[in-house]
Structure 1
Amino acid sequence: MKCVKPLLLATAIASAAYASANELNTVIEKSSAINESAIKTQGKIDDITDSMQSRLNKFKTLNKEIDGLTVYNAQLSKQIKNQLEEMAAINASMDQVSVIERQITPLMMRMITGLEQFVALDVPFLPTERAERVAGLKALMERADVSSSEKFRRVLEAYQVEMDYGRTIEAYTALQTINGQEREVDFLRIGRLELLYLTKDGQQAGAWDADSKQFIALPDSNISQISKGLRIARKQLAPDMLTLPVQAAE
């Protein structure tokens, strides 16, 4: 009977140790579960934080875009206003087109008539070319497929050509009646100041006389200077002084 007590004591101690071990395991398991839950919670917090930061960045970007669009829209509004004003001005101008066209056609006809009269009274250089230019303008005025602006441009162009004649020197070949015989000669035009000719054989020279409205023969002493002038006009000789007969201005 003396051996029973120690056995019971050992059993009680073992039972107590087993119970303590179970409780410790339970505490450890719960602690692990708490740690895992904390990790998951922290992950969710991090995800929420990242999402909020991303949305904040998008919000800032959108605000910048809105500011830019506001400035752009303000600029567009100014441009649209200016375009509307320009359109109104164009519409007003278009209303006057028919009136202007009715006025400009008679003006061009008068300009062509004036040009024709001027050519007829002018020094008779390049008569065929200048007469054809005037005739071309008259034919142009009758064409319906050419705009009034183009017609006016061509008339002004013809006037410009005539103006250029007054400040240029030119040499060209044409036929000239000399002593009742038609001969090929070289003409020398010096602006509108002088129109002279020299026969191809270099033996006879003449000049246009504005008073008698005809060509008159020149002394042989002028032949060398006219020949020199022809070479200068054809750029065969450098520009130089010429001694030529000039009609005195009245």
Structure 2
Amino acid sequence: MKHSLISSVVLIALCSAPLFSHSLAAQETSLEPVVDAANKINSAAKSSQLTVEKIADSTQERIQQYKQITRQIQGLEVYTQQLQKQINAQAAEKDELNASIDEVSVVERQITPLMLRMIESLDKFVQLDVPFLPEERAERVATLRELMDRADVDVSEKFRRVMEAFQIEADYGRNIEAYNGEMTVAGQLQDVEFLRMGRTVLLYKTRDGSSMGVWNQQQREWQPLDASYASNVQEAIRVARKQLAPDLLMLPVFTSTSSTGE
């Protein structure tokens, strides 16, 4: 009886095995769509994650570009402000230059007549002055007259040349000079040595020393000079030519109260 029961159980088990296998196969078949759906969801999730990562990277890159552009804009704003200051300064300088140009035009119209009067005064002064270097000084005045008529020379250069001529004339009164020239002596044109000490003394000596004369500015004529002055005159000429150290010299000087003095 017991053996028969065991056999029944085995028989039931054997009989139920095909049923279980059939049920498992049916269950696997029913789960395939779910697994496929899960795989699709996982694939979609992975793709979405990659998309999110790309968007995040792109967003970060855009943020860095934005920050960089912002810094560039700030730098350009500062640069623009500095340029505006320079433009304002240049505009102010332009206004000053325009005002200066207008003033220069006024000054130019006023200074040209002044220079003409100065040249005229210089010409008269040279004519009335002690007659040393007459050709050179007269030529200087003539050159200034020609210069004033030239249109290719600036007014500033003309004024400089006029002032230079006045300075040269002023220097004549503070120095000593010896130079060679010609003079009519005893009715004959002879080579002579002139000696000028400022505008106080102007005298001449022939080459052989046989004749000497001194200019009398009060009477505006040459007067003979005594032979006793020969050594002093020669020494003074050597001093003027820087051949001898300066020393005390005895030379004739004309004054307004006396005809001749020393």
Q: TM-score, normalised by structure 2?
A: 0.72
Q: How far apart, CA to CA, are the structure 2 residues paired with 1:92 and 1:209?
A: 48
* Counterpart among 197, 203, 207 of residue 190 in structure 1: 197
Counterparts of residues 14-29 of structure 1 (less than 5 Å):
16=27, 27=38
Partner in structure 1 of residue 250 of structure 2: 244
* Count of residues in correspondence between the two structures: 244
Partner in structure 2 of residue 158 of structure 1: 165
For residues 54-79 of structure 1, what are the alpha-carbon distances to aligned partners after superposition, in whole Å with 9 as ceiling and x for unaligned? Answer: 12321232133224323432442354
Partner in structure 1 of residue 66 of structure 2: 55
For residues 177-219 of structure 1, what are the alpha-carbon distances to aligned partners after superposition, in whole Å with 9 as ceiling and x for unaligned? Answer: 3333321011121211211223223454432233443333434
Tell me, yes or no, if structure 1 residue 170 matches structure 2 residue 177. yes
Q: How far apart, CA to CA, are the structure 1 residues paired with 2:96 and 2:180?
A: 59
CA contact (8 A) 1:188 1:196 kept: yes
Q: How far apart, CA to CA, are the structure 2 residues paired with 1:148 and 1:44?
A: 74
For residues 71-90 of structure 1, what are the alpha-carbon distances to aligned partners after superposition, in whole Å with 9 as ceiling and x for unaligned? Answer: 43244235424533653564
Q: How far apart, CA to CA, are the structure 2 residues paired with 1:230 and 1:89?
A: 52
CA contact (8 A) 1:203 1:223 kept: no
**Residue identity (%):** 33
Q: CA deviation at 1:169?
A: 2.1
* Counterpart among 128, 134, 137 of residue 141 in structure 2: 134
Query: 2:52 corresponds to which letter in structure 1?
Result: T
Higher mean C-alpha displacement, 212-221 vs 167-176:
212-221
Partner in structure 2 of residue 87 of structure 1: 98
Cα 1:42/1:139, change in 2 over 3 Å: closer
Q: CA deviation at 1:243?
A: 1.0
**Which of structures 1 and 2 has the bigger CA Rg?**
2
Tell me, yes or no, if structure 1 residue 36 matches structure 2 residue 47. yes
Higher mean C-alpha displacement, 128-137 vs 158-167:
128-137
For residues 136-159 of structure 1, what are the alpha-carbon distances to aligned partners after superposition, in whole Å with 9 as ceiling and x for unaligned? Answer: 445556x47467936555443332
CA contact (8 A) 1:229 1:242 kept: no
Q: TM-score, normalised by structure 1?
A: 0.75
